[in-house]
């Protein structure tokens, strides 16, 4: 299995994957999908596709400011979940943060999402929980590489 990263090419693919992966959480919390909001965010974020053997199977959306690099979305195709692609994506985000001189990685994740354990294993800690959402942060040191 050859894993590679590239600038995202297809916002429609990303929207479909994110909408599909978030549908159960949105239904539970009575949140309505907003395509216009997705498009605004897509235009503002750095968007990547994680590919296996050249085929996109994962979407990673990032933003950053002077304080932190933010993982805005990280979604793996259901058939590819559990194969380490989420970890690969976090490694990639960590590299981007470090190249930018940023030592803080942040994200939000719904409570009950199994990805919480992945993020904790990689070094993120919950810094706040509010409205069914965990706010997580990882303070990167210059020499630490996630496992």
21, pLDDT greater than 80: yes
Given this model, what pLDDT does residue 142 score? 60
| DSSP per-residue letters across 27-55 | HHHTPPP-HHHHHHHHHHSEEEEEEETTE
Residue at 147 is within a domain? no
Asked whether residue 145 is domain-assigned, the answer is: no
Residue 130 CA to residue 64 CA, distance in Å, equals 22
Whether residue 10 is predicted with pLDDT greater than 60 in this model: the reply is: yes
* Token pair in block for residue 108: 């939000």
Q: What is the tally of structural domains in the chain?
A: 1
Asked if residue 96 belongs to a domain, the reply is yes
Residue 84: which CATH number?
Answer: 3.40.630.30
What pLDDT, on the 0 to 100 scale, is given for residue 143? 54
Does residue 146 lie in a domain region?
A: no
Q: Which pLDDT score is estimated for 137?
A: 97
The sign of the CA dihedral 60, 63, 69, 72 is negative
Which residues contact residue 48 at a Cβ distance below 8 angstroms, ignoring those fewer than 6 apart?
5, 6, 7, 8, 59, 60, 61, 62, 89, 92
In a domain, 66, yes or no: yes
Q: Which domain holds residue 133?
A: 3-139
pLDDT tens readout for residues 91-144: 999 999 999 999 999 999 999 999 999 999 999 999 999 999 999 999 987 654
| Average pLDDT of the residues in 26-42 | 95
Is residue 117 included in any domain, yes or no? yes
Report yes or no on 144 lying in a domain: no
Question: Which pTM was predicted?
Answer: 0.91
Tens of pLDDT, residue by residue over 59-84, are 999 999 989 999 999 999 999 999 99
Reported confidence tier of residue 39, pLDDT bands at 50, 70, 90: very high
Q: Which of 141, 138, 147, 65 is nearest to 104 (CA)?
A: 138
Confidence of residue 9 (pLDDT cuts 50, 70, 90): confident
Q: What are phi and psi of 48, to 5 degrees?
A: -130, 150
Give a yes or no: residue 25 inside a domain. yes
């Amino acid at each position: 299995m050859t894993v590679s990263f590239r600038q995202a090419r297809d916002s429609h693919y990303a929207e479909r994957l994110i909408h599909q992966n978030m549908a159960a959480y949105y239904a539970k919390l009575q949140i309505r999908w907003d395509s216009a909001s997705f498009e605004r965010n897509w235009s503002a974020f750095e968007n990547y596709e994680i590919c296996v053997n050249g085929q996109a199977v994962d979407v990673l959306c990032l933003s950053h400011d002077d304080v932190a690099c933010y993982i805005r979305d990280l979604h793996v195709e259901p058939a590819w979940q559990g194969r380490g692609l989420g970890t690969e994506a976090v490694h990639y985000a960590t590299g981007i943060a470090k190249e930018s001189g940023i030592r803080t990685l942040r994200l939000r994740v719904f409570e009950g999402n199994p990805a919480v354990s992945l993020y904790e294993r990689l070094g993120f800690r919950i810094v706040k929980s509010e409205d069914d959402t965990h706010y997580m942060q990882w303070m990167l040191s210059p020499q630490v590489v996630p496992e």
